[in-house]
Amino acid sequence: QQQAIDPSKRHKWYVLIGCDTYINVPHLLKQLEPYNFTQPYFIGGSVGEQMCYHKKGTAYKSLFIGGNTAHVFSAALVQALYPHLSVYVESIWPQPNHTSAALSDVALSCLIFSLGFKMTILPGFFRRSPNGIIKEFGRKEALKVQEPSSWHYIHPAQMIDLDEFYVYHPINDIKHQLSSFNVQFIDKSLSGHCHLTKTCAKDLKILNSKNGMNPSLEDQKRFYEVYKNDFEMNHVNAFICFHPASMCEVFMPFNRTLIVIASTRYELGRFSKEEWRNWNKNLQIIASNSRNVIAGNNLYDAEYIRYFTGVKAIVLPSLCAYTNASYKQVIGKPFIIASIHEKNFHSKFMSMLTDSFKHLKIAVAVAHLRDVYKSHYKYSQLAEHPGIIYVPYQVSVMSLFEQYRMNIPLFFPSLDLLTEWHHTYGVVNERTWDSVSGKKKNASIVSGVLDPNIPDPNNEFDLHAIRYWLKFSDFYQWPHIIYFNSTDELVIKLTTTNLTQVSLNMKVYNANLKQYLFEQWRQILQRIE
């Protein structure tokens, strides 16, 4: 179809991927910027070796670009390939029943090479999932690519999770909260999805998407030298750092108010022992100035900071008033089961839940979130379901803030049950960075500074430590959450809970919280002035 239209109207680039490959389009487009689509480019991320076949049955070993990452073709290459493609596939490449017949990535590579074109291998086209890459190469090596273009072996539900991961909600929530204070933001985002909020850093010097997560000391010094007399920078009253919170190290020399709010474990970007220790020292220095603010947007991260630094971080939860939706149950819609990230436990939980429905002889409509909504959903749509059932993979996530603020009844395993499930199955598998990397440990690489009787938060093997830290999770701190000690109890509570009353109670709590947060931010902004 493309070849049949005017060349000026054709696509510039073509991407060929498998159904289990996730493509981050903004990252990909940014990566392709240096390349001219009018020149023949064959781009991918991994290389293998296989047999190539040619006319008259000749064969030879050749490298090829693995289709497990992605095949990216420039418009010029597609135009050059088009006249040869059918003939090659139908007459030259081995036909069905041959061992190479199904190797389409090899066939395409062989054809392209036979026409005299070369391959271009770029970083960021990953042949495994994020966890798979971390397990294979280690976390530090995997994080060298700050804006990956593709991941492979991705479950359909994880496609959406990855898409949402690359949009950082916390800063947008703060902007929404502070709009009533007439606060002006200078947002030079390095996120791959910054185009969605029109905040992309177009003229930022020194820092970029490659070094922004963990700039070297040299880059930090250069950043200060470049901006210390900058007109715009000299009008800045405060810096807010979220993701990573450690970004505030860069802004320390400017002698302005620093607002550090950890929305996840605060050592993000400072994973080595030396980096983490230095960040702890800097965080203590920041906290020593009364005009600065150290916070977690949840109690877990506030306590986590205190454990390693002694700094008493306050809690500034996300408000998420931007949803503009509230609970309004529509009869006939099922209870939603939120994504369960521990794949081995997913089937076990569903088996237990099914057994409970059967022997209790109770019928309740339940459905997985991604079975009901294949892609994105409107907040108002989610608010029409009777409630949401969780087996949490993290202690605090933005979607949970949103759902609670929409007054949707939420069902969670009790603290004892979740402790047992996590100890046995590792269900809260994004609680620690070690767990994310697939290398669970029984201790942190740096020591805590509190009472030695307080257990290590990164100990994934001690039942007491797990329970102690899980109790700080959002869903054990907020009122009106509905807890179950077994799937039997869950089934019973799905049918007996007064959901309307629960939602009304949540609504009252949210209204009071909004007033509390308004006052918190008013006091913080007064300090800045």
**pLDDT, one tens digit for every residue, the chain (529 residues):** 777 787 777 888 999 888 888 888 767 877 887 788 889 999 998 888 888 887 767 788 888 888 778 899 999 999 998 888 888 888 888 777 677 667 888 888 988 998 999 999 888 888 888 777 777 777 666 766 767 888 888 766 555 455 544 444 677 788 888 888 888 888 887 776 666 667 788 888 999 877 888 899 999 999 999 999 999 999 999 999 988 899 999 999 999 999 999 999 999 989 999 999 999 999 999 999 999 999 999 999 999 999 999 999 999 999 998 889 999 999 999 999 998 988 789 999 999 999 999 999 999 999 999 889 876 788 999 999 999 999 999 999 999 999 999 999 999 999 999 999 999 999 999 999 998 888 899 999 999 999 999 999 999 999 999 999 999 999 999 999 999 999 999 999 999 999 999 999 999 999 999 999 999 999 999 988 6
Q: 396: which residues sit within 8 A by CB, 6+ positions away?
A: 263, 264, 297, 298, 300, 301, 473, 474
Question: pLDDT per residue over 17-57, tens digit each?
Answer: 888 888 887 678 778 877 888 899 999 988 888 888 877 67
Strand stretches in 419-498, DSSP E: 482-484
CATH class, 323-514 region: alpha beta
Residue 498 amino acid letter: N
Residue 26 is predicted with a pLDDT of 67
Residue 31 is predicted with a pLDDT of 82
Strand stretches in 216-359, DSSP E: 238-241, 257-262, 293-296, 314-315, 335-337
pTM score: 0.74
> Whole-angstrom Cα distance, residue 102 to residue 170?
45
Q: Are 93 and 107 in contact (CB under 8 A)?
A: yes
Residue 528 is predicted with a pLDDT of 84
Residue 338 amino acid letter: A
The SS3 of residue 357 is helix
Q: 310: which residues sit within 8 A by CB, 6+ positions away?
A: 284, 449, 450
Q: Are 132 and 52 in contact (CB under 8 A)?
A: no
> Whole-angstrom Cα distance, residue 47 to residue 218?
34
Domain map (residue ranges) of the chain: 2-121, 187-316, 323-514
The DSSP bridge partners found for residue 125 are 150
> Whole-angstrom Cα distance, residue 425 to residue 349?
11
Question: pLDDT per residue over 448-475, tens digit each?
Answer: 999 999 999 999 999 999 999 999 999 9
> Whole-angstrom Cα distance, residue 460 to residue 463?
8
The SS3 of residue 220 is helix
> Whole-angstrom Cα distance, residue 4 to residue 20?
30
User: Among positive and negative, which fits the CA dihedral 136, 138, 142, 144?
Assistant: negative
Residue 249 is predicted with a pLDDT of 96
Count of CB atoms situated within 10 Å of the CB of 310:
14
